[in-house]
Homo-oligomer: A and B are copies of this chain.
C-alpha cells in the first residue's frame, strides 16, 4: 500500500471517530546531557518535521485526548501536561498539506489546542507509527524546519515554560527522581536563557526547603561525585502555590 492510500484509509476512520476541525499539538520537552530536547516526528511524504499531535474522540475530554496521544508516542502515561494556547487562524496549515486531496480528513481546517509536556528523558521510548517515518528527540539549539505553524507553537511553549518556572513543578518533571545541584542549575539556565551564580543558586534553592538530600552520591564521573537530591513533593507543591520567590 502506498502512502496516499494509507492516508485515505486513516482519513475514513478519522471521520468516524473524531470531532472535526479540532486537533491537539504537543510540545514534549525532555532534559538530557545538559541540554533541552523536543520530541519531533516526520510524517510520510513530507519533508519537514512536525509536533506530535492528534484528535479528540467524540466522547472524550480534551485533556484525556492529549494524554492518550502522548501515551501512544512515548509509552508513558501520567505525563505532566499543560494546555497553553489555541492556534486558530484560518490559513495555519498552509502550505504544508496542499498537495493532498481536498476531501482528506487531514486537509480540513483545524483549530489546534497546544499542550506542553514535561517528561523524564530516560523514561521515554519514542514510537514511530505507520504514518510517520521517524520520531526523535531534537536539541532545541538546532531544530529542523517544521511544517505548518509548528515553529510558532514550539516557541510559544518555550516562552510559557519560562514564565511558569516559578509556578509549576518544572524541575520535578524534567529531571529524574534523583539529580544533582549542577544539573538543576543547568536546567534553570537553559530555560531562562542566561547563566546564574553558582553559590547564590545553591543557597537560594536550599533555602526554599523543598529538596531532600541523599546520603549516596553519583559515582563514575571524572571528579568528586556530586550529591544527589530529590524534590520533597509535599513541600515543593506548597511552595509553588504562592510561586517561588520571584526573580531568577
Contact = CB atoms under 8 A, between A and B. Distances in A.
Interface of A: 19-22, 56, 58-63, 83, 85-86, 88-90, 109, 111, 113, 163, 167, 246-247
Contact of A21 (B21, B88, B113): B21
A10 B234 CA distance: 52
Q: When A and B form their complex, which 4 residue pairs have the shortest distance between CB atoms, in order from nearest? A: A62-B88, A246-B246, A61-B89, A19-B21
13 contacts: A19-B21, A19-B109, A21-B22, A22-B22, A56-B88, A58-B109, A59-B90, A60-B90, A61-B88, A62-B88, A63-B89, A83-B85, A86-B86
Given A56-B88, A62-B111, 11 more contacts: A19-B111, A56-B111, A58-B109, A59-B90, A60-B90, A62-B86, A63-B89, A83-B85, A83-B86, A86-B86, A246-B246
A198 B89 CA distance: 44
Contacts of A167: 163
Contacts of A85: 83
Which secondary structure dominates chain A's binding surface? mixed
Q: How many chain copies does the complex carry? A: 2
A86 B22 CA distance: 12
A196 to B, nearest CB: 17
A19 B90 CA distance: 12
Contacts of A19: 20-21, 109, 111
Nearest to A58: B109
A89 B19 CA distance: 13
Contacts of A88: 56, 61-63, 113
Contacts of A83: 85-86
A80 to B, nearest CB: 17
A101 to B, nearest CB: 19
Nearest to A89: B61
A56 B22 CA distance: 12
Nearest to A167: B163
Contacts of A247: 246
Contacts of A61: 88-90
A110 B63 CA distance: 14
A83 to B, nearest CB: 6
Contacts of A60: 90
A240 to B, nearest CB: 13
A23 B85 CA distance: 15
